[in-house]
Structure 1
Amino acid sequence: MGLVNHTAIAATAVATAALALAACSFGPSGEPPAMPSPAHYGAAAQPAQTVAAQGVAQRFETGAQPVPEWWRLYQSDALDALVDEGLSNSPTLAATDKLLASAHEQLRAQIGSLLLPQIDAGGQATRQRALGIPEAGPNTVLYNTFVGQVQARYTFDLFGASRLANAALASRVNEQAYQLDAARRALAANIVSAAISAAALDAQIATTERLIQLANEQAQDAQRRYELGSLSHADALNVQQSAATLAAGLPGLRQQQAATRHALAVLLGRTPDAAPPDLDLASLRLPETVPVVVPSDLLRTRPDIQAADAALKAAAAEVGVATAQMFPSLSLTASMGQGGFSWPLALSGAGAIWSLGGSLTQPIFHGGALAAQRRAAADTYDAAVLQYKQTVLAAFQNVADTLASLEHDAQALDAANAAARAARQAYDETAARYRLGAVPVSTARSGEQQYQNARLDEIRYMSTRLSDTAALFQAMGQPPASADDSEKRLAKKD
């Protein structure tokens, strides 16, 4: 009786201590560190809008939410179809989604393994020969045993080790989910950028081919003038050299276009030979309004920052797990079944067997392993804090760079557009004078060359402005998921 009382008192004391300690935190809270919230992203505040280039001045809408399907603002059905196809067919994206589904199942498996009892059923039939003891009779030498039983085991989570381990793995799953969101948005941005680049290269190739044609005509005229004696040989060779140099640059442009189209095909989940046709650069409409999320909200809209936050929470929970492993562990085991030396005996009432037991384990000496594991977990947490800070700073820099790029792109495109307009007007006037016989054909040809060169610069700056706009939409992240969205996502995974 006294032994039972002492056991009950000890069990009560252990349970009380466990409840008290469970209320305490064995690790950091996992809350992200406070980050500065600058008034503006760059070294200088971004203007309310860019300068007008080709008649369009982009307006920065400060405080607006990110646009979920921002590529549709380019008002191109062909571009929309490419992005939709890529998001549906990309093997990389599908593989990432499957890995996330696998992580969800691993979390469910761990929760069931750590928080719920384990129950197993087993049966055993053996035939054995023991040492012969004549005094004990012949049955001690050769006999059969039949056992069937159900076993149960449950470990109490006294100090939260299981709960913290599940929290750590859940945060790792969240990290993968945010990485999937980041991969999906990056894929969309890469498809848009590749489509714009391919369209721009197609326009540059067409313009360069016209320049080469004009240069060859100039070289032919120079050769005829040399043969007539009105031009020196050196001058004729210089014209031929200029034409050949210009032609040498065309294969490089074609190679860039081919590589870009091949890359776009792979992004869409196609083979390179099935690359889609190039878009018409002039058909893409520059979005006139772009959102600029305030720095404090960017922490919630950028998937990479959210992934770093989830990694931070996982590292904090892992510190708690390493701490809880240094405290006692209490397990209960129970089994019941039938057994005997023959089937009739095993199935009879006399063959009933059962057991019930408990074990309490307190780590005492593990060669410093448990303390070292806790210090390692703490160092990992400190690293996660620093990585979170670096991720936030890199996100601020990314936004600052893209905002500055859009302003400078508009300025460069405006100047290039002015140069192209002036060159076009001069060419038109020269061509009119040539038709009247006032100037030779070489003068008219030179005027068109100047215009085509100016047009080539304008195409490059158009492409850069369109691509940098996509980069800014990508840098803003995505609107935070509502509770309804989260429930729909979980239901889809189930």
Structure 2
Amino acid sequence: MRAADFSTPRRAIVLAAMVLSGCTLGPTGAAPDMPQPAHYGVEATPTTSGPADARQTFALGERAVPTWWEAYRSPELSAWVEEALQKNYSLSQALHSLDSAREQLRAQVGASMFPSIDAVGQSTRQRALGLPTMGPQTNLYNVFVGEISASYTFDLFGVERYANSALAAQVDAQSYQLDAARRALAANLVITAVNGAALRAQVQATERLIALADADTAEIQRRSELGSAARGDLLNAQTSAESLRASLPGLRTQWQAARHALAVLMGRTPDAAPPDLDLAQLSLPERVPVAIPSELLKQRPDVLAADAALKVAAAEEALATAEMFPSLSITGSFGQAGFTWPKATGAAGAIWSLGASVSQPLFRGGALQAKRRAAQDAYLASQDNYRQTVLNAFQNVADSLSALTHDADTLTAAAEARRHSEQFWRDAERRAQLGAIPPNATRAGEKQFQNARLTEIRAIAARLADTATLFQAMGIAPDQVTAANKQEELNKKN
């Protein structure tokens, strides 16, 4: 530990000269340079994905869409998202916290950048002890004082300025976090609504499979009673039916949980959950904007928040350095005072004072140097946090694009399997009507179709949900954030 916070007077003189010449005492807080990938993932960004009747285009270089959920072409879904953005309590809490932070910034700027002026009025009656040999042993008298006092500390080395800059950057970071919360809320609601609709369709398909399994069991039971079916066949049929029945409660639990989560996201109690959407009525967004990597860093809220945190750390490092230099304060007051009210208000009662003080840290046990080194380490940590946030953003987009590409392939295969199984089932129905095959063959075809339908439902839901994830991953341009904030303030006033 150093004996003093200034090792030599020469260093103090050099740093003071830097300040007076306009140089800053800390880093600028500029974001470090990051490598710009040629494309997000290990494979080049695809331009389209999916079959011709469900094709999705990735528009590389287009700007992010503020109200991207409208691309699903569901008035109910759009209304739910708007309701959530207006009534979600977590979002409202974040908004009020941001307003509080802004007011704290205004308070700090007002307290640090302007003089403080106070008016004081005082009226007292006092009893003082006198000397035994000189007059009465006690003195009773009144004091009337009225004055205005002012004080101001000159920000010679930027202590207050850097403190204000740090707090302002914190407010910016909180603003970006609020925007990230808005987009996450919209994405979570869309994904939850899609999952709810998909789970409802899966429950219906599973209930139909159970009914078909029960019909097979009943038929084998009758045949077993007539001696035309083995006991093992009956046991296998019963096992199949019960296995399907055992899977149904779990699906219903997930379905109800999705509805409850949807209601809470919208600011409602779980019992007031809206009705499920029809999965078939949700349109797949045909065009998804994909920002180029350099533009992504300018519109992702988490990256912008990390950049603001970097500026906070830079200002705090400069603040820790500025606190090592002298501070100059002046105080002044004027007013009236006297032992009686007439004297206090007369010309003889005028009082005033004026003073200045200079404070220079000399010895703090190495605390100021340690604080500055801590701020420097915090700034380096903020740089690493920014770099990692950028890499995470690139990975998020890469994973979303990869998931959508493979979702399209999965859905194509699942849709083909469903069409083939449905054709087989319809053919079996016609043959059963002609008496060419027994009814259980028709049920077997329908079971195959329902199982293929379950796979297709999951594939459709995954593609719709992953599209919402990609929309969220794109962020939103700062000017669109400003426009959205202005519109929100206008709505509040109205």
Give the TM-score normalised by structure 1.
Answer: 0.94
Aligned to 2:322: 324
Counterpart Cα distance in 1 of 2:68 and 2:253: 30
3-state SS in 2 of match to 1:331: strand
Q: Letter of the aligned partner of 2:127 in structure 1?
A: R
Counterpart Cα distance in 2 of 1:482 and 1:188: 16
For residue 171 of structure 1, the aligned residue among 169, 172, 179 is 169
For residue 420 of structure 1, the aligned residue among 394, 418, 422 is 418
Cα deviation for residue 288 of structure 1 reads: 1.2
Counterpart Cα distance in 1 of 2:114 and 2:230: 96
Q: Letter of the aligned partner of 2:45 in structure 1?
A: Q
Counterpart Cα distance in 2 of 1:107 and 1:43: 45
Render the CA deviation track for 1:294-338: whole Å, top value 9, x for unaligned. 111011110011011011101100111111110000000000011
Counterpart Cα distance in 1 of 2:142 and 2:17: 46
Q: Letter of the aligned partner of 1:32 in structure 2?
A: A
**Pairwise mapping of residues 58-457 of structure 1 onto structure 2 (< 5 A)?**
58-138=56-136, 141-457=139-455
Cα deviation for residue 46 of structure 1 reads: 2.1
Aligned to 1:35: 34
Checking the alignment, whether the CA contact within 8 Å between 2:397 and 2:474 is kept in structure 1 is yes
Checking the alignment, whether the CA contact within 8 Å between 1:18 and 1:158 is kept in structure 2 is no
Aligned to 1:45: 44
Counterpart Cα distance in 2 of 1:469 and 1:65: 16
Aligned to 2:7: none
Residues 163 and 449 (structure 1 numbering): CA distance in 2 closer, same or farther, change over 3 Å?
A: same
Residues 483 and 235 (structure 1 numbering): CA distance in 2 closer, same or farther, change over 3 Å?
A: closer
Aligned to 2:5: none
Cα deviation for residue 340 of structure 1 reads: 1.3
Render the CA deviation track for 1:206-262: whole Å, top value 9, x for unaligned. 111111000000000111111111111111111111001001101111000110100
Cα deviation for residue 124 of structure 1 reads: 1.7
Residues 134 and 173 (structure 1 numbering): CA distance in 2 closer, same or farther, change over 3 Å?
A: same
Render the CA deviation track for 1:37-60: whole Å, top value 9, x for unaligned. 10101011122211317x212111
Q: Letter of the aligned partner of 2:376 in structure 1?
A: A
Counterpart Cα distance in 1 of 2:479 and 2:275: 36
3-state SS in 2 of match to 1:141: strand
Counterpart Cα distance in 1 of 2:50 and 2:119: 77
3-state SS in 2 of match to 1:138: coil
Checking the alignment, whether the CA contact within 8 Å between 1:118 and 1:154 is kept in structure 2 is yes
Residues 491 and 78 (structure 1 numbering): CA distance in 2 closer, same or farther, change over 3 Å?
A: closer
Counterpart Cα distance in 1 of 2:65 and 2:354: 61
Q: Which has the larger displacement, 468-477 or 482-491? A: 482-491
Cα deviation for residue 480 of structure 1 reads: 2.5
Residues 141 and 276 (structure 1 numbering): CA distance in 2 closer, same or farther, change over 3 Å?
A: same
Counterpart Cα distance in 1 of 2:216 and 2:324: 87
Cα deviation for residue 25 of structure 1 reads: 1.0
3-state SS in 2 of match to 1:145: strand
Residues 445 and 17 (structure 1 numbering): CA distance in 2 closer, same or farther, change over 3 Å?
A: closer
Q: Letter of the aligned partner of 1:409 in structure 2?
A: D
Aligned-residue sequence identity (percent) comes to 57
Render the CA deviation track for 1:188-214: whole Å, top value 9, x for unaligned. 001100100000011111111111000
Aligned to 2:10: none
Q: Letter of the aligned partner of 2:401 in structure 1?
A: L
Checking the alignment, whether the CA contact within 8 Å between 1:19 and 1:158 is kept in structure 2 is no
Counterpart Cα distance in 1 of 2:271 and 2:66: 31
Counterpart Cα distance in 2 of 1:101 and 1:140: 58
Counterpart Cα distance in 2 of 1:487 and 1:260: 30
Counterpart Cα distance in 2 of 1:20 and 1:439: 95
3-state SS in 2 of match to 1:389: helix
Residues 381 and 123 (structure 1 numbering): CA distance in 2 closer, same or farther, change over 3 Å?
A: same
Q: Letter of the aligned partner of 1:246 in structure 2?
A: L
Checking the alignment, whether the CA contact within 8 Å between 1:74 and 1:285 is kept in structure 2 is yes
Counterpart Cα distance in 1 of 2:458 and 2:40: 27
Checking the alignment, whether the CA contact within 8 Å between 2:143 and 2:338 is kept in structure 1 is yes
3-state SS in 2 of match to 1:66: coil
Checking the alignment, whether the CA contact within 8 Å between 1:337 and 1:353 is kept in structure 2 is yes
Residues 48 and 145 (structure 1 numbering): CA distance in 2 closer, same or farther, change over 3 Å?
A: same
Q: Letter of the aligned partner of 2:190 in structure 1?
A: V
Counterpart Cα distance in 2 of 1:270 and 1:490: 21
Q: Letter of the aligned partner of 1:454 in structure 2?
A: A
Gaps of 5+ in 2: 1-12
Q: Letter of the aligned partner of 2:461 in structure 1?
A: S
Aligned to 1:481: 479
Residues 161 and 391 (structure 1 numbering): CA distance in 2 closer, same or farther, change over 3 Å?
A: same
Counterpart Cα distance in 2 of 1:358 and 1:423: 92
Checking the alignment, whether the CA contact within 8 Å between 1:318 and 1:377 is kept in structure 2 is yes
Render the CA deviation track for 1:99-119: whole Å, top value 9, x for unaligned. 101111000000000000000
Cα deviation for residue 277 of structure 1 reads: 0.2
Q: Letter of the aligned partner of 1:39 in structure 2?
A: A
Counterpart Cα distance in 2 of 1:136 and 1:343: 27
3-state SS in 2 of match to 1:291: strand
Residues 344 and 279 (structure 1 numbering): CA distance in 2 closer, same or farther, change over 3 Å?
A: same
3-state SS in 2 of match to 1:149: strand
Aligned to 1:21: 20
Render the CA deviation track for 1:315-371: whole Å, top value 9, x for unaligned. 100111111110000000000011111212111111111000000111100111111
Give the TM-score normalised by structure 2.
Answer: 0.94
Cα deviation for residue 182 of structure 1 reads: 0.4
Counterpart Cα distance in 1 of 2:25 and 2:64: 38
